[in-house]
Structure 1
Amino acid sequence: MKNLWHILQLQWQSAPAFRLSLLYLTLLTVLALALPWLPLAYGPNDLDLDQIYQAPFGWKAEADKPRHWLGTDGLGRDVLANILYGARTAFAISLPVMAMASLIGLLLGAMAGLFGNQRLQMSRAFLIALLISLVPLSYYGIYLPIQLSNYGANTVEFILTGMLAIGLSLLLVLVLRVFLRQFPVLKEKSALPADELLLRLIEVQTSIPRLVLILVLAAVAPPTLLALTVLLTLTFWTGTARLARAEMMRIRELPFFEAAISLGYTPKRLLMRHAVPHLMGPVLVAFSFGLAGLLMLESTLSFLNIGVSTDLVSWGRMIAGIRANTAAWWLVAIPGVVLSLTVLALQTFSYYVLQFLQNKK
């Protein structure tokens, strides 16, 4: 975290474009979080059928009604309110997805880069128990929450399901490990090719287009925020994993890391104390680039009306309103400009952080 703060502090002082992009992203995030307390005249789904397709800054307002400063759509919904609530939807999807995907990619990539194909030794009993435990983990951790979301389950039920998935998986690993160790052949340790497994998993994952998976999900299950979040998390981790693996292989050859290995430090300490702090900068770059990609993907899915629940306000769904009236240019221009500025700010932020890391090397 100190390295990240140092990067942000130096770039803030030396790069006006970085400063401007960070201010814009901070302002947009604060507005999205503070929506319940903002003095908005209209809600995102409030209908004003007397003023449909009102242009921005239009002065056709009744004396007893507030103005629609950025216009309205075909149902009289306020564009300003929808822009702000659309930002909250975009960040509610993209931030958790990218955070979880970055965490998964960081851990898998760092472990693959550290252990390679020969350094990770584990007993065959533990490996078999670990593979079998993936069955209840997948069922109670992925399939069951998706089904619960279709029936409108509350947060407590999702938390209990997650705890059940983790608890059953750990219990199954412990019980099966004790049982399988009764067989002498399963007590022997063998090298787990962590690097090779990760590369093959990434190849399989990236060989299936993400949009195809989303279309399949939309065909077999109602569009929910949880289902889309899980699917995107399971497909967005590969880029971070590749980057973390490459950086870990570079860090592994540095003198300070070789000295730490020679002192006999445990793999956990090597990862958490010596490797992860140096990986946070590149992961931050991958995080911001991935966040920009997720924002564009969410808007695309909303525009196509797939994968995202129709009760969520979205920039993409606002842009889709132009289909009913091509003269309503503000339905494309305003959300399109906000989306473009957000993506540009994220790309600018990533560029300056990446430039700093390259100059540092």
Structure 2
Amino acid sequence: MKRRLQRINLIALGWLFLLLLGATIAPTSSPPPNLLLTTVAPFHSVHWLGTDPVGRDVWASLLAGARATLQISLPAALLSNILGGTLGAIAGYFGNNRLRIAYGWFAALVLMVSGICALMGPLWQSLGLLVVGAVGLSAGLGWLLSSSRWGSNLLSVPLDDMIQALIALLDSIPLLMLILTVAAIQQPSLSGLIALLTITCWTTPARLLRAATLRTVPLQFVMAAEAAGLPPLRIVRKHIWPTIWPVLLARIPLSIALIIGLETTLSFLGVGLPPEVASWGRLLASSRLAPTAWWLIVCPGTAIFLTIWSLQALTKAKSSTLLASTDVTK
């Protein structure tokens, strides 16, 4: 059994290495079309994986699609896990009573968020200036109000309930439907798609890190740090985070696999990426123009399957070892 798992790990690592190598040597844009060689079958003297209905080489399209896949999935997975892990750890440690803020600063914060939401539509073209101005005004208002007797009173912020409510709100909407709706509205771009995937895929890491933090907070070394009077953020950064980070590390490959699946689906439906960017999903979609061109389904489909399978195989092989080495899962 152990040797079988080792062979599976070697196969998965080998495929991911080839994927990274292919993305490195891939062209930066889609291969040019050639209308004289449309829908050429594989094993051609020049196009050994064939061409699509507009004459683009399938091999070059696969390499360019690998580059686009890594350019999107790696940053989006890292950012979403960092965002979700940070929010989950903060929610698990601070709960609903640890974080206290003066009434004056809380009122200024509420007014700032309300003002930005109300003026975002009319001042969309000057959104950056709007945010800077709102932050400056709220800072002055918060300092002024907190100087008063009423504004200096402390208010317990239910941070855990707020983050859990946001997670429940995002999870109540089907993920693909939410991403597809927003991607269809916004202008296609790599950075926009990465931002969209980041703000929609952070909920699962947040739940995992919140649960891990709740199991870590009662431990003696955390209680000793609190008794010593260390600042809460330092306790989270120096004592809790080193204990729970393997949970996030085990989740990252699954996040990459999820984001690859979402990006491929969006590309297949024709949204999310600019037209000049090659994608495995776009290559799959070209099979609708030539239903008999089986290679347009087999080649990108095999690449997608092997990539997602490799990531899941590595996660399954390593997660038990990583989690068993921490107090979180004991």
Instruction: Provide the TM-score with structure 1 as the length reference.
Output: 0.80
Provide the C-alpha distance between the structure 1 equivalents of 2:115 and 2:252, rounded to a whole number of angstroms.
30
Retained in 2: the 8 A contact 1:214–1:307? Answer: no
Give the ranges of 4+ consecutive aligned residues of structure 1 lying more than 6 Å apart after TM superposition: 136-140
Retained in 2: the 8 A contact 1:289–1:350? Answer: yes
Per the alignment, residue 210 of structure 2 pairs with 245
- The alpha-carbon distance between structure 1 residues 359 and 68, as it changes in their structure 2 partners (threshold 3 A), is same
Per the alignment, residue 260 of structure 2 pairs with 295
Structure 1 residue corresponding to 2:35, chosen from 49, 58, 63: 49
> Is 2:79 the partner of 1:93?
no
1:268-283 equivalence runs, <5 A: 268-283=233-248
Retained in 2: the 8 A contact 1:106–1:244? Answer: yes
Provide the C-alpha distance between the structure 2 equivalents of 1:136 and 1:55, rounded to a whole number of angstroms.
59
Q: Which amino acid aligns with 1:48?
A: N
Structure 1: gaps spanning 5 or more residues: 1-10, 38-42, 60-66, 149-160
Provide the C-alpha distance between the structure 2 equivalents of 1:138 and 1:73, rounded to a whole number of angstroms.
46
> Is 2:151 the partner of 1:186?
yes
Retained in 2: the 8 A contact 1:288–1:350? Answer: yes
Per the alignment, residue 343 of structure 1 pairs with 308
Structure 2: gaps spanning 5 or more residues: none
> Is 2:187 the partner of 1:201?
no
Per the alignment, residue 305 of structure 1 pairs with 270
| CA-to-aligned-CA distance 1:313-360 (integer Å, 9 cap, x gap) | 110110111112222111000110011111011111211221113433
Retained in 2: the 8 A contact 1:136–1:168? Answer: no
Structure 2 residue corresponding to 1:103, chosen from 57, 74, 82: 82
Provide the C-alpha distance between the structure 2 equivalents of 1:267 and 1:70, rounded to a whole number of angstroms.
58
Deviation at 1:274, TM superposition (A): 1.1
Provide the C-alpha distance between the structure 1 equivalents of 2:151 and 2:274, rounded to a whole number of angstroms.
48
Structure 1 residue corresponding to 2:225, chosen from 246, 260, 265: 260
> Is 2:35 the partner of 1:84?
no
Provide the C-alpha distance between the structure 2 equivalents of 1:143 and 1:248, rounded to a whole number of angstroms.
39
- The alpha-carbon distance between structure 1 residues 45 and 131, as it changes in their structure 2 partners (threshold 3 A), is farther
Deviation at 1:34, TM superposition (A): 3.8
Deviation at 1:258, TM superposition (A): 1.9
> Is 2:222 the partner of 1:236?
no
Per the alignment, residue 21 of structure 1 pairs with 12
> Is 2:23 the partner of 1:32?
yes
Q: Which amino acid aligns with 2:304?
A: L
Percent identity over the alignment is: 35
- The alpha-carbon distance between structure 1 residues 173 and 286, as it changes in their structure 2 partners (threshold 3 A), is farther
Retained in 1: the 8 A contact 2:267–2:279? Answer: yes
How well do the aligned residues superpose, as a CA RMSD in angstroms?
Answer: 2.9
Q: Which amino acid aligns with 2:35?
A: L
**Equivalent residue of 2:150, what SS?**
helix
Structure 2 residue corresponding to 1:122, chosen from 91, 97, 101: 101
Deviation at 1:168, TM superposition (A): 4.7
Q: Which amino acid aligns with 2:11?
A: L
- The alpha-carbon distance between structure 1 residues 133 and 93, as it changes in their structure 2 partners (threshold 3 A), is farther
**Equivalent residue of 1:257, what SS?**
helix
Deviation at 1:46, TM superposition (A): 1.2
Per the alignment, residue 40 of structure 1 pairs with none
Retained in 2: the 8 A contact 1:136–1:165? Answer: no
Retained in 2: the 8 A contact 1:44–1:78? Answer: no
1:302-341 equivalence runs, <5 A: 302-341=267-306
- The alpha-carbon distance between structure 1 residues 21 and 167, as it changes in their structure 2 partners (threshold 3 A), is farther
- Give the count of matched residue pairs: 323
Deviation at 1:224, TM superposition (A): 3.0
Provide the C-alpha distance between the structure 2 equivalents of 1:230 and 1:333, rounded to a whole number of angstroms.
30
Provide the C-alpha distance between the structure 2 equivalents of 1:286 and 1:332, rounded to a whole number of angstroms.
29
Provide the C-alpha distance between the structure 1 equivalents of 2:84 and 2:146, rounded to a whole number of angstroms.
31
Q: Which amino acid aligns with 2:282?
A: R
- The alpha-carbon distance between structure 1 residues 196 and 309, as it changes in their structure 2 partners (threshold 3 A), is same
Instruction: Tell me which moved more, 172-181 or 295-304.
Output: 172-181
Q: Which amino acid aligns with 1:190?
A: L
Retained in 2: the 8 A contact 1:46–1:77? Answer: yes
